Each structure stands twice: as C-alpha cells, then as structure tokens.
C-alpha cells in the first residue's frame, strides 16, 4: 500500500493538469467538434490578437510578475541574511502564519484601504495637514503601470517565501556558514550572500518559480489593485469566459495557451536573472570586498519585510473598522456611527458558505495529509526520496497558471457529467492542496534524526511502532502545520471552486468575491475578515494542540 | 455481484432518462405544484447587493414553507458566465440535470440564450397564474426584451430605469441632459465617472448617451448589421472624446462596477452618480451607505428603461420548481415587498390598478424613500437599443478608451 502512495500523488496532480491542458490546446487551434470546430487552424489566435490592447496586457503580466518576484525574493534574502539568529528574526517567524492565513484578495483589499486617496491615512491627515476636503484625484490604486498590484503581490508572497526559507535553512548549515563568513571579516548580509545563498537558493528555486507563475497569472489581486485600461492577461481570459458568444470559447482557449507562454517566458527570463545574479556574486568575491559595515542593508531588509507585513495587518484592522462603520464621509478620521448592521445582514448568508469551505478544506487537506504521510513513510522505510522530476510533478500545478488548464478540465468534467459534484471539487482542490502539504511536511519529516528509530529497532520494535509511537508524536507540530497550510490554500481557492463547483459549492471565498462585486467597503470588510478567519483558526489549532500535547516534553517545545 | 451492478447502472440510466422527461405544462398548475414539491432550485443571480440577496433569501423561505421548494441562490458576479456555463453543458451533450434551474437575465444574455436554444423550448412564463396581472400594455418591455420578442421564455421580474444621483449641497443645479452633463463635467473636472464597459451599468450609460445624441434614434431599434454603425455612433465618440480627459482619474481608470461607483459618491470623490433603479439612493441612505442629503434626477428627454426577467435553461433539473419560484416572484405580494425602498426598491412589472383591492392596498402602503422620484417625475422611458448593439459598442469603447493612449 505505502509503495503506491507516491504514484497516487503524481497521478492526482498530473491527471487534471494534463487533461485540462489538452482541453484547451485543441480548441486553441480550432478543434472542438461539439462547437463546430473540426479542423486545425490558427484562427483563434488571430482573433485573440485582434483584441484591443492585448500586447499591453501581455507586457503588463510579464513585467509586474517579474518585478513582484524579484522584489519579494530580494527582500526575503536580505532580511534573512541581515537578521538570521537575531530577535527580529524570531519575532518575524511568529508572524509568518497569521500573514499566510490572509487570503490574496483580502490582503489586496487591506492594502487598498491604506493607499487609496480616500484611504485611512488620507482621512487621518485631512484636512488639517493636506487641505483636502475631497479625496485627491490621483491614480494610485489601478495605476496603469501596475505598481499597486506589484506591492500587493510582494506583500502576499514575502510570507510564503519566508516560510519556505525557514523550512530550507536547517538543511543548509546556515549557522556554521555564517559564523565562518563572520570569522573571515564579512558583514552579515554579504557573508550570507556568499556563504549561504548558493546552497539555500537551490532549495528555494521551485517555490520561487511558483511565486513567479502565480504573479504572472493571478486574477484576484489584479482585480482589486491592478490596472483596468487594459487589465493583465489573466483577468482578460476570465472575462472571455463570461462571454456568451459561442465563438469566444476558441479565443478563450487561445488566451489560456498564451498565458501558458507568458508564464513560460517569465520563467526563462528569470533563469537569466538568476545567472546574472550569480555572475555578480562571483565577480564580487575576488575583490575581497567584505561590506563589514552593513547596518543600512540590514535595516533595509528588515523594513522590506516588516513594512508589507505591517501594511497587511494594519489594512486588515482598517477593514475591520469599515465593517462596523455607519456613514463615514471624507475626510472624517472615524465613522460617524458604529453599527453591527452589515455583519448581521451578511453573516446569515455566509453560514452555508462557511460550512462548505470547512467541509472541502478539511476533506482535501486530510486526504492530502494522508497521501503525503504515506509517501514520506514509504521513503523512510524503502528509501528513494523523489528526484528533481518527482518534485517537478509536485510543483506542476503551481507552475501552470490556473486559467490555462481549469477551463479545459471543467469542460471534460462537464462532458462526463461530474461538474458540480463534491468528488470533482475535492479532486480539483487536491491538485492545489497536495503540493503545499508536501512542501511544508517533507522537510521536517526527513530531518528527524534517524537514530531514534534505530534505537527503537534495537529494542525489537518494528517500523509500525516507530511510526505510531515515534514519528507521529514527535512530528505532531509540523503535521498539524502542514494540515493548516493545506486548509488555508483550500479555503482561499477561488477559480477552481467557482468553475468546477458549478455554483453548487459556494465557499466564503466565492461568496466574498461575488459580494465584493458590489464594491461596498463595509461588505468587503466583513467578507475579508470571515475569509481570513478559517485559515487563522487552522493555524491556531496547529499551534495550540502540539503545545498541549507536549506540555511536559521540554525538548519538543518551540525554542524561546 | 455483477447482476447487482448491472441493475444499479440500469437504475441510474432510467433515472437519467426520467430527468430528461418533458418540461411541466404551466397551464396544468396543480400538476406543476405537485412535481415541484421536494425539488431544489438553483437560482443563478447576480450577488453583488446584500439587499437583493436578502430579498431572494426571503423568497426562499416563503417558497419552502408554501410549496416545499428549496431555493438555493447561486451568487454570480457576471450573468454572461452563467450563459457560458449552460453553453458548455449543451456543447458537452448534456440534456437534463443541468447546473442552472433559473437565471436572472435580460437583454443580450437573453438574446444569446434564445438564439442558441439554451432555454426551455416551450413558452411557459405567460402561462403562469401570476402573469395575468402583468402590465403588458403599459410596460411594453415585459414582452419585448431590448426589442427581442420574449415569447413566454422568460418571466418578467422587475422594471429598471436609469436615474442619476447627486448631493444638492455640491451640485446646486443638476444637469438634465447629456449636453448639460458635459458642460457640468467641464466645470467640475474629476468629479464624474462611469463603470468600465463591458460592465452592464457602464454599457447602459453608453446606450443612454447614444440614444440622446444619435441623429436618428430609430436606427438603434434595428439590428446593428443593417445600419451604418460608424455614422450612427459618431456623435457618441465625439462626446466621449470631449469628456474623457475630464473624468475621474482623467479616464485612466474606471470603477469596476456600479457598486464601486456608488462608493466613489459616498467618499465624495465624485459628485454625480447613477443607478438602474429609481430607489437605489433611498435604499443606500436607509443602509447608511450614502448621506441622507442625496437626491435623484433624470434627463428631461427621458432615460433608458427596461425589464429584467428570470429564465429556465433547456437542461434545468428542476423546471417545475423553477416555474413555481418564477410565479411567486411575479405575485402581487412578492412584487409589493420588492418595491419597498428598505427592501430593494425595484419597481413592479404588474398593472397595480388591475389588482384586487387588498393587493392594491399593499402597493399603496409601499415606502419609496426620501431620494426616490415619484413615478410621474421620472420622465419618458427611452427604449434600449437592439441587443446586437451591445457587443460592437463595447468593442469600440475598449478600442478607444480601454487601452490607454
């Protein structure tokens, strides 16, 4: 049984992605007999490129995606390099989970509340400082260059990259290496860059690719913060999906293929950036420059990570205030009245959505956890950790843009009459949940000292006992954290839930987006908080249960 | 083992075949009611306004208690996506048990569904018991949706009218024509905008301008292919070229939808806004979303009006239940409740003067709110252009204003 687990995982991940890609590739080249397309042609692409401003959309997706990824990666590396082993570092570790639990759309709204001309800071400073009696007519949110969108993406990807870095650091001998570099007279940041980054980045590479793929193809952040004249490519693909014109199905498929190409191009460009950065580092080394005074760089690193984190937390607090606000005219610093009216009105409608999100999230992450634990246990007992190819399969759903394969997958499900079924939705969620559960659990699982199990074996106990009595209890914390990560991913999924669920399984996220369509900031406040609530509870459980289980096991507590 | 499996498969096949059985006949209403009992109706309707969601939830409670029909409101962001969904099901060869039982619809989406055979094939809506009070003579749009004959394939639900909102403290003399609006925008740059087409409110605003500015408005009633699009729309683009640099954010960004536009009015970023519901400002005031000083106005030459409907797709799994819901939505009781400003404020499709006295009393008691113009102050209703105008209008707008300069 155990030996089947890795194969099952690969099948569950590759199946839907491959089927979905097939489902868009053929129509993209004009072949979809049920809609009257029975010969191959490039007509869909010709019509796609006739859409006004398409080139601008493509460049926007490419540019903002690369910029957001470059900023987020540099910020995380600068921060970890500058503060590894300090109190700031340990403090930030604690904020990572709550930050991760804020869904993308909610984080984007939180940022919008801060930076919009009618946002909270503008209200606080007006009119006494700024002289504004109306919000100034400045294009901040939805700016044409996508700067606001890049900021939103950076704020949301930093916690993810930080979590991945935290997981990778123990396998890099980072402490020993930084100490060695310090003994050679290097400053913290440059020492980290020369001594640790080359080993660390090898492990971070796939997560960085996943960030890049998301940033070049995201829909939810782009809708809230991104430009609209024109919008990034992925947003325009989703708009095509809402077009009642039959012929647009082919153009939609062509758009999905183009998105695949854009993300692929971004990955290639990124490889170039990687090469360039490596060359710069290599060229710096023989100069002997040690940058021993790097307080400014360290401060910049801390600020680059703390500012977005603070913005999300502050903006979320701002949304909480909006959710209970009565009339609130600009430039009043506070609402004229505080009322629970919106909560009372929206919550009854959200209760079913909360239940659905909970059911899908628990089922998907439990199933994913079962498979991942089985695969890891198989690895412990029978050897063979997955090579790069196995990992690539895991990362495939994170690298292929959702808009590129979901519509094709849905079409195949509809043909089979499976769309709208819980099982189909569960399968779609597993595609996205499994990789994250695997990524967050495999590190701790592999780094558990194998000598414990050897001691147990020398006492005459079999591998089953080692699993039950040793690995499960000792790894309770990472297991529950992996579950919480998977749960958060599932709760935050928008497009897959909408498309595959056929509206039969509304979750807090789909309801939040539908309600946000009305644009009322009070409702956005309520839905963003409710959206963040479930993942937050998940992370809370992941912290509280091990703390209680290990209350009299000092060695298993989180080091203070 | 195997015989049982085959029996199972057979049963599944038979039940699938039964689901494909003929749509119920609304003229035999008792049979429809009997068939509807126990059915679950998936009602796909725009979910961006909590007031409307609450009203649909109330309808759900009522039809559950009275007719044993479970109503599930599937909140959608864009009705076009529902049409695309049904289209996908048809392309995938599905004939029954579709995911949509009832859809809130009108205009080009209805035209697309009708044209592609995505609706119940037999007329049903005009055979519902509640239909006899529908004001077909006084409200011709209940039978011609954007000029397309309804043919009983969708049931009228409510009347929409384009109405503008302003704060008299900021706009002492509201502009009562397209020309006056342009002059006002020139005097107050940055204080007006409209949702970005293809959002339906943005497109409606374009259509309003077009009807106002076109040399021969009668051309708009014809399919767009039969007239000179460029010539007819030239005054519209000249007008937009004039106002766009003076719009909110110099026309470099637009609110995504009507809710985003209302938020701008509430924040004081804009000073004039509009909605497709004469009581919208009153409803928003009642909920603290707009200050209670906001009032309404319309263009002297009239504003666009239309009817919105509910329709049943060809592959609906619960068409009897959907008919029961549609019939209840059209009933005097549900229509009067819908017209309350605090509930929704959506005008009725019924001829109130033809109703029995107790139902007339319901409408007489309706509270329409402080910012709602009385029906006789709403001015003439201008007809929607033919639905074929929507796509070229949106495409041309995107080409001119949607991609920057």
Residues B319, B122 contacting (CB under 8 angstroms): no
**Is a pLDDT exceeding 70 seen at residue B20?**
no
* Predicted pLDDT at B405: 54
Chain B closest CA to A285's CA: distance in Å?
A: 46
| Nearest residue on chain B to A239, alpha-carbon basis | B81
Is A242 close to B78, i.e. CB distance below 8 A? Answer: yes
The DSSP bridge partners found for residue B166 are B272, B295
Q: Give the CB-side neighbour count of residue A250, counting CA atoms within 13 A.
A: 23
Is B398 close to A52, i.e. CB distance below 8 A? Answer: yes
Sign of CA dihedral B221, B226, B229, B235: negative
Is A118 close to B260, i.e. CB distance below 8 A? Answer: no
- Domain contains A252: yes
Residues A509 and A408 in one domain: yes
- What does the block give as tokens for A96? 């990572």
Residues A63 and A33 in one domain: no
The whole-angstrom separation of Cα B385 and Cα B208 is 9
| Nearest residue on chain B to A410, alpha-carbon basis | B88
Q: Is B12 on the interface with A (CB under 8 A)?
A: no
Phi, psi angles (nearest 5°) of residue B160: -115, 145
Chain B closest CA to A556's CA: distance in Å?
A: 47
* Predicted pLDDT at A492: 87
What kind of architecture, by CATH, is found in domain B22-159+306-373? 3-Layer(aba) Sandwich (3.40)
* Predicted pLDDT at A511: 84
Q: Is B88 on the interface with A (CB under 8 A)?
A: yes
Is A35 close to B91, i.e. CB distance below 8 A? Answer: yes
| Nearest residue on chain B to A332, alpha-carbon basis | B267
Q: Is B358 on the interface with A (CB under 8 A)?
A: no
| Nearest residue on chain A to B82, alpha-carbon basis | A242
* Predicted pLDDT at A106: 85
Q: Which residues of A touch B76 (CB under 8 A)?
A: 503, 514
- Specify the higher pLDDT residue, B168 or B4: B168
Is A503 close to B100, i.e. CB distance below 8 A? Answer: yes
What kind of architecture, by CATH, is found in domain B163-305+380-401? 3-Layer(aba) Sandwich (3.40)
The pLDDT tens digits along chain A (560 residues) read: 677 888 888 888 888 899 889 888 988 998 887 777 788 889 999 999 999 899 999 999 999 999 999 999 999 999 999 988 888 888 887 778 778 778 888 889 899 889 988 888 888 888 888 888 888 888 888 888 999 999 999 999 998 899 888 878 877 888 889 999 999 999 999 999 999 999 999 888 888 999 999 999 998 889 889 998 899 999 999 888 877 777 788 999 999 999 999 999 999 999 999 999 999 999 998 998 888 888 899 999 999 999 988 999 899 999 999 999 887 888 888 888 888 888 888 888 788 889 999 999 999 999 999 999 998 888 888 877 666 667 777 888 888 888 888 888 888 888 787 878 899 999 999 999 998 898 888 878 887 888 888 888 899 888 888 888 888 888 888 899 889 989 998 998 888 898 888 778 888 888 887 777 666 788 888 988 888 888 889 888 888 888 888 888 777 765 43
* Predicted pLDDT at B13: 38
Residue A292: Cβ within 10 Å count: 12
Residues A36 and A63 in one domain: no
Residues A354 and A390 in one domain: yes
- In 3D, which of A240, A232, A253, A88 has the Cα closest to residue A152? A232
Is B47 close to A511, i.e. CB distance below 8 A? Answer: yes
Residues A420 and A379 in one domain: yes
Residues A352 and A300 in one domain: no
| Fold match between domain B22-159+306-373 and domain B163-305+380-401 | yes
Q: Is B404 on the interface with A (CB under 8 A)?
A: yes
The residue extents of the domains of chain B are 22-159+306-373, 163-305+380-401
DSSP string, B288-308: TSS-TT-EEE--TT-EEEEEE
CATH number at residue A539: 1.10.3720.10
* Predicted pLDDT at A233: 95
- Which string of b and e fits A220-256 if b means at least 16 CB within 10 Å? bbbbbbbbbbbbbbbbbbbbbbbbbbbebbbbbbbbb
Q: What is chain A's percent helix, strand, coil content, to nearest 5?
A: 75, 0, 20
- Domain contains A125: no
ipTM: 0.84
Interstrand relation of B272-275 and B163-166 (parallel, antiparallel or unpaired): antiparallel
- Domain contains A110: no
Considering only CB atoms, A517 lies closest to which of B72, B77, B395, namely B77
- What does the block give as tokens for B141? 């749009």
Tokens 């409101």, located at residue:
B73
Chain A closest CA to B138's CA: distance in Å?
A: 31
* Predicted pLDDT at A123: 87
Q: Is B353 on the interface with A (CB under 8 A)?
A: no
* Predicted pLDDT at A518: 61
Residues A527, A350 contacting (CB under 8 angstroms): yes
Q: Which residues of B touch A520 (CB under 8 A)?
A: 50, 259, 262-263, 289
Q: Is B65 on the interface with A (CB under 8 A)?
A: no
Segment B52-71, tens digit of pLDDT: 999 999 999 999 999 999 99
Residues A296 and A353 in one domain: no
- What does the block give as tokens for A169? 């650091």
Residues A269 and A396 in one domain: no
Is A519 close to B260, i.e. CB distance below 8 A? Answer: yes
* Predicted pLDDT at B4: 45
Chain A closest CA to B60's CA: distance in Å?
A: 12
Is A227 close to B399, i.e. CB distance below 8 A? Answer: no
- Domain contains A332: no
Residues A274 and A399 in one domain: no
CATH number at residue A220: 1.10.3720
The pLDDT-based confidence of B116 (bands split at 50, 70, 90) is confident
Residues A266 and A179 in one domain: yes
Distance of CA B15 to the CA centre of its chain: 35
Residue A344: Cβ within 10 Å count: 10
Q: Which residues of B touch A346 (CB under 8 A)?
A: 50
* Residue A557 structural domain: 1-40+340-560
Q: Residue B218 contacts by C-beta under 8 Å, 6 or more apart in sequence? A: none
* Predicted pLDDT at B73: 92
Residue B77: Cβ within 10 Å count: 22
How many independent structural domains does chain A possess? 2
Q: Please write down the HEC assignment for all residues of A349-389.
A: HHHHHHHHHHHHHHHHHHHHHHHHHHHHHHHHHHCCCCCHH
Is A135 close to B269, i.e. CB distance below 8 A? Answer: yes
Considering only CB atoms, B252 lies closest to which of A118, A144, A328, namely A144
- Domain contains A512: yes
Considering only CB atoms, B99 lies closest to which of A143, A503, A515, namely A503
Q: State the burial class of residue B1 (Cβ atoms within 10 Å of its Cβ: 0-12, 13-18, 19+).
A: exposed
Enumerate residues 182 to 241 of chain B having a beta carbon within 8 A of any beta carbon in chain A.
189-190, 196, 198
- In 3D, which of A284, A105, A94 has the Cα closest to residue A186? A284
- Domain contains A314: no
Tokens 């519901």, located at residue:
B277
- Specify the higher pLDDT residue, A534 or B77: A534
- Domain contains A121: no
Is A135 close to B92, i.e. CB distance below 8 A? Answer: no
- Domain contains A334: no
The whole-angstrom separation of Cα A451 and Cα A440 is 23
* Predicted pLDDT at B91: 79
| Nearest residue on chain B to A523, alpha-carbon basis | B50
Enumerate residues 108 to 127 of chain B having a beta carbon within 8 A of any beta carbon in chain A.
108-109, 112-113, 116
The whole-angstrom separation of Cα B107 and Cα B124 is 19
* Predicted pLDDT at B396: 95
Segment A243-257, tens digit of pLDDT: 777 778 899 999 999
Residues A34 and A75 in one domain: no
Residues A161 and A202 in one domain: yes
Segment B307-341, tens digit of pLDDT: 999 999 999 999 999 999 999 999 999 999 999 99
* Predicted pLDDT at A533: 87
Best of B13, B20, B253, B404 to substitute, by most chain A Cβ atoms within 10 angstroms, is B253
């Amino acid at each position: 049984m155990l030996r089947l687990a890795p194969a099952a995982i690969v099948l569950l991940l590759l199946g839907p992605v491959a089927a979905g890609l097939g489902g868009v590739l053929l129509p993209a080249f004009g072949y979809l007999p049920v809609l009257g397309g029975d010969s191959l042609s490039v007509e869909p692409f010709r019509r796609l490129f006739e859409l006004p401003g398409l080139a601008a959309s493509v460049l926007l997706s490419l540019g903002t995606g690369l910029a957001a990824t470059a900023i987020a990666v540099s910020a995380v590396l600068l921060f970890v390099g500058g503060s590894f082993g300090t109190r700031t570092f340990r403090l930030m570790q604690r904020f990572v989970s709550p930050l991760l639990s804020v869904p993308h759309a909610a984080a984007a709204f939180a940022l919008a509340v801060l930076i919009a001309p009618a946002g909270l800071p503008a209200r606080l400073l007006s009119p006494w400082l700024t002289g504004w009696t109306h919000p100034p007519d400045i294009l901040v949110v939805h700016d044409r260059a996508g700067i606001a969108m890049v900021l939103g993406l950076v704020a949301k990807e930093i916690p993810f990259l930080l979590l991945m870095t935290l997981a990778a650091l123990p396998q890099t001998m980072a402490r020993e290496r930084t100490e060695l570099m310090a003994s050679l007279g290097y400053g913290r940041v440059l020492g980290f860059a020369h001594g640790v980054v080359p080993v660390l980045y090898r492990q971070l590479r796939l997560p960085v690719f996943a960030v890049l793929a998301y940033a070049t193809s995201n829909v939810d952040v782009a809708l809230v913060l991104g430009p609209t004249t024109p919008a990034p490519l992925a947003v325009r693909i989703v708009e095509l999906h809402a077009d009642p014109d039959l012929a647009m199905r082919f153009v939609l498929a062509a758009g999905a293929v183009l998105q695949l190409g854009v993300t692929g191009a971004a990955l290639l460009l990124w490889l170039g950036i990687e090469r360039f950065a490596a060359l710069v580092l290599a060229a710096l080394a023989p100069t002997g420059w040690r940058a021993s005074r790097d307080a400014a760089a360290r401060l910049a690193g801390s600020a680059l990570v703390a500012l977005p984190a603070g913005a999300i937390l502050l903006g979320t607090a701002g949304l909480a205030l909006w959710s209970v606000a009565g009339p609130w005219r600009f430039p009043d610093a506070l609402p004229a009245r505080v009322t629970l009216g919106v909560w009372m009105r929206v919550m009854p409608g959200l209760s079913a959505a909360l239940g659905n999100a909970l059911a899908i999230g628990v089922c998907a992450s439990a199933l994913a956890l079962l498979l991942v634990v089985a695969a890891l246990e198989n690895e412990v007992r029978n050897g063979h950790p997955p090579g790069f190819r196995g990992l690539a399969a895991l990362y495939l759903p994170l690298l292929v843009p959702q808009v590129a394969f979901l519509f094709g997958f849905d079409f195949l499900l509809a043909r089979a009459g499976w769309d709208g079924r819980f099982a189909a939705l569960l399968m779609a969620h597993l595609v996205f949940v499994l990789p994250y559960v695997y990524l967050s659990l495999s590190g701790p699982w592999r780094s558990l000292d194998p000598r414990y199990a050897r001691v147990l074996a020398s006492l005459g106990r079999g591998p089953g006992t080692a699993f039950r009595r040793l690995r499960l209890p000792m790894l309770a914390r990472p297991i529950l954290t992996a579950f919480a990560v998977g749960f958060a991913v599932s709760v935050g999924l928008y497009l897959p839930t909408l498309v595959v669920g056929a509206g039969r399984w509304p979750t807090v996220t789909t309801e939040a987006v539908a309600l946000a369509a009305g644009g009322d900031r009070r409702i956005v406040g309520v839905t963003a908080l409710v959206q963040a609530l479930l993942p937050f509870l998940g992370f809370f459980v992941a912290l509280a249960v091990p703390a209680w289980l290990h209350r009299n096991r000092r060695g298993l507590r989180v080091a203070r | 083992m195997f015989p049982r499996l085959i029996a199972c498969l057979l049963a599944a096949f038979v039940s699938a075949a039964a689901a494909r059985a003929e749509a119920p006949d609304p003229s035999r209403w008792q049979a429809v009611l009997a068939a509807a009992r126990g059915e679950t109706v998936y009602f796909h309707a725009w979910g961006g306004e909590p007031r409307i969601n609450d009203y649909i939830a109330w309808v759900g409670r009522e039809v559950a208690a009275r007719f044993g029909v479970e109503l599930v409101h599937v909140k959608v962001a864009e009705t076009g996506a529902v049409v695309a969904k049904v289209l996908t099901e048809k392309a995938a060869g599905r004939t029954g048990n579709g995911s949509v039982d009832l859809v809130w619809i009108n205009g080009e989406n209805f035209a697309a569904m009708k044209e592609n055979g995505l609706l119940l094939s037999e007329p049903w809506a005009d055979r519902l018991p509640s239909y006899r009070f529908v004001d077909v003579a006084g409200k011709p749009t209940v039978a011609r949706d954007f000029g397309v004959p309804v043919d009983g394939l969708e049931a009228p639900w409510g009347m929409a009218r384009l109405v503008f909102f302003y704060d008299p403290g900021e706009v002492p003399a509201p502009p009562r024509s397209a020309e006056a609006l342009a002059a006002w925008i020139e005097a107050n740059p940055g204080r007006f905008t409209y949702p970005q087409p293809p959002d339906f409110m943005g497109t409606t605003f374009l259509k309003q301008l077009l009807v106002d500015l076109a040399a021969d408005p009668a051309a708009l009633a014809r399919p767009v292919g039969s007239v000179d699009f460029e010539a007819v729309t030239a005054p519209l683009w000249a007008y937009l070229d004039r106002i766009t640099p003076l719009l909110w954010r110099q026309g470099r960004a637009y609110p995504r939808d009507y809710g985003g536009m209302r938020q701008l009015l509430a924040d004081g970023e804009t000073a004039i806004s509009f909605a497709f519901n004469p009581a919208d400002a009153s409803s928003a005031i009642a909920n603290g979303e707009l200050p209670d000083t906001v009032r309404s106005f319309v263009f002297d030459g009239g504003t666009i009006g239309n009817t919105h409907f509910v329709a049943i797709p060809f592959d609906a799994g619960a068409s009897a239940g959907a008919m029961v819901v549609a019939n209840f939505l059209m009933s005097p009781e549900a229509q009067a409740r819908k017209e309350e400003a605090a509930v929704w404020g959506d005008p009725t499709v019924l001829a109130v003067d033809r109703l029995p006295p107790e139902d007339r009393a319901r409408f007489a008691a309706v509270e329409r709110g402080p910012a709602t113009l009385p029906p006789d102050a709403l001015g003439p209703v201008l007809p929607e252009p033919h639905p074929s105008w929507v796509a070229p209008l949106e495409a041309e707008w995107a080409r001119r204003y949607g991609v920057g300069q």
